Amino acid sequence: MPSNTALLIRALLYSLLLSLAACSSLGQRDPLRIDLVGLEPLAGEGLEMRFAVKLRVLNPNDAAIDYNGVALDLEVNGQPLASGVSDQRGQVPRFGEALISVPVSISAFSAVRQAWGAAGYTPGQGLPYQLHGKLAGGLFSTSRFTDSGTLNWPEPASAP
């Protein structure tokens, strides 16, 4: 007959295995698709420029995703440009989408660095960007994301 200590150890091992199995089933969802869809100017202070970064969040899962904060960093032309956070809360419906606006700041130093890096830029040429961030949703449901592409600035109107 096993001792009480052996029974206790066996019970703890079974509990540990069951909790690990439960935790592994929490992460079984498809990743969110998050795209940069717009930049809108906001009022800045001093030498700082501010923009509202518009993100479209697509949820390909069968359950709604609740979020309670967003953080992001934006790089343009391989250089850091802007960063921002927002404590907004919301929900992305199951098999649905949501539009999230995050205010970001561009320091004067970042603006000068971008201007220096874009010295060979010609109008109509696209500038590569990288977006990194996270959509906070609690201890086990925070989603990290990246997006990349090209920012295409319009060409100036030609003189008639």
Can you give the pLDDT at residue 139?
67
Which stretches of the chain score pLDDT less than 50?
Answer: 156
The model's pLDDT over 84-128, given as tens digits with 9 standing for 90+, comes to 999 999 999 999 999 999 999 988 877 777 766 665 666 666 788
Can you give the pLDDT at residue 44?
81
Identity at 117, one-letter amino acid code:
G
Can you give the pLDDT at residue 134?
92
Can you give the pLDDT at residue 124?
61
Domains of the chain and CATH, by start? 28-118+126-147 (2.60.40.10)
**What is d(CA 26, CA 19) in angstroms, rounded to the nearest whole number?**
11
Beta bridge partners of 8: none
**What is d(CA 12, CA 123) in angstroms, rounded to the nearest whole number?**
66
CB 59 within 8 Å of CB 94: yes
Neighbour order of strands in the sheet with 79-86: 33-42, 49-59, 96-106, 79-86, 70-76, 126-135, 143-152
Can you give the pLDDT at residue 160?
54
**What is d(CA 100, CA 56) in angstroms, rounded to the nearest whole number?**
6
